[in-house]
Chain A
């Protein structure tokens, strides 16, 4: 962590970026909150030892001007989210220096973290690993690391054994649902959706949800104004819109006041769609999301089996 803070301080000192969006620990109450780091004091507060329930990728896309050069420090899922936003032209990746931090396997006590198979932020410009080493994964990253006198290692990927274990935990998480009859499964989800108080927290915190003119707003008539719970289509429409690109960051579930296991559903569909379209979100900028950015022609050429 000290190395990371040192890198951020160097970035600020040399004026390479206007600031660095990072999670910081508050001195007063020990909570983690977002910060646009511009001072050494703020850099010293950068902390990635707990899950942060906000998306810095989303903050970059919403609040940072497309001409402003900034840095972003984040866990792998947040970096994946940034890549997805870049694909949708909500972020200019050239203007963001991305510093990813490897997650400890099952490091955070949340179901989505347990299911996660992407521990290593191989898609970031610079990656800091659990063992204290660092790698430059892109040209931008190499330039950035030359600011520090750290010796960079080779770029790494998430170890296959760790990925296997994650896939195993995914199966465990979804096993009970998979065994149910469709009607029982539907009951499971509908009874959870019945708790919904339409706070829009899931939509607001999801980094993939970027639409200014969102289809879940009452004027679109899918979700009628007034009255709770909202039509079940609220969750299913959002599922259809983001399902192919859900990076299992869990911000939706973390912000749900009614503890609806949203990411359990969204991540599950994402895995199905991944298998169907051969698409994994958040890893490769050149691979476009199947729902909405790729034509059936493209898919036939890629050899995707559509029934």
Chain B
């Protein structure tokens, strides 16, 4: 069973249309989306390989916590709990402006909005930037 699933490339801000080739439940290939108003059926090298990370053997599937010079696997609850605790501690000890946040073009607009809301309203700092500005 082969399906062609239309989606938008997750990489840069252009937003090229592409089709994910799904065979028996696994994403095996990428095809450009013909007639897309932005990409016009063409892709750059990142777009052509947009599917590569999905089932990649080295893809992280669980949060990792740095411990004793290495990493150990943990759960989402533990990892998020640890981050919340440390943010609160650092904000309390050194003030909100001692923390900076770096977001990504690979996040959706909605995710970026939420992050900056968290940074500005909850943490109380303007120290938020984005990988596209680097």
Contact = CB atoms under 8 A, between A and B. Distances in A.
CB atoms of A and B under 8 A apart anywhere in the complex? Answer: yes
Interface of A: 18-19, 21, 26, 29-36, 38, 52-54, 59, 62-64, 197-201, 204-205, 254-257
Interface in B103-119: none
Given A34-B4, A35-B4, A200 B34 contact: no
Contacts, number: 70
Given A31-B33, A201-B42, A255-B43, A38 B48 contact: no
A205 B31 CA distance: 8
Contact of A36 (B1, B29, B33, B35): B1
29 contacts: A21-B2, A31-B33, A31-B34, A31-B35, A32-B34, A32-B35, A33-B33, A35-B4, A36-B4, A52-B34, A53-B41, A54-B32, A59-B21, A62-B29, A63-B28, A63-B29, A197-B45, A199-B42, A199-B44, A199-B47, A199-B48, A200-B45, A201-B42, A204-B48, A254-B41, A254-B42, A255-B41, A256-B42, A257-B43
The 8 lowest CB-CB distance pairs between A and B, nearest first, are A31-B35, A36-B2, A257-B42, A199-B45, A199-B44, A53-B41, A53-B34, A31-B34
B120 interface: no
B23 interface: yes
Interface in B1-48: 1-4, 6, 19, 21, 23, 28-29, 31-36, 41-45, 47-48
B45 A34 contact: no
A257 B48 CA distance: 12
Contacts of B6: 26, 33
A255 B32 contact: yes
A78 to B, nearest CB: 14
B3 A34 contact: no
Given A33-B4, A33-B19, A35-B4, A198 B45 contact: yes
Interface in B64-116: none
Given A254-B41, A256-B42, A31 B29 contact: no
Most buried by A among B28, B42, B43: B42
A209 to B, nearest CB: 13
B4 to A, nearest CB: 5
A184 B114 CA distance: 57
A42 to B, nearest CB: 11
B34 A54 contact: yes
A254 B31 CA distance: 13
B114 to A, nearest CB: 29
Given A34-B19, A201-B48, A53 B4 contact: no
Contacts of B28: 63
Nearest to A254: B41
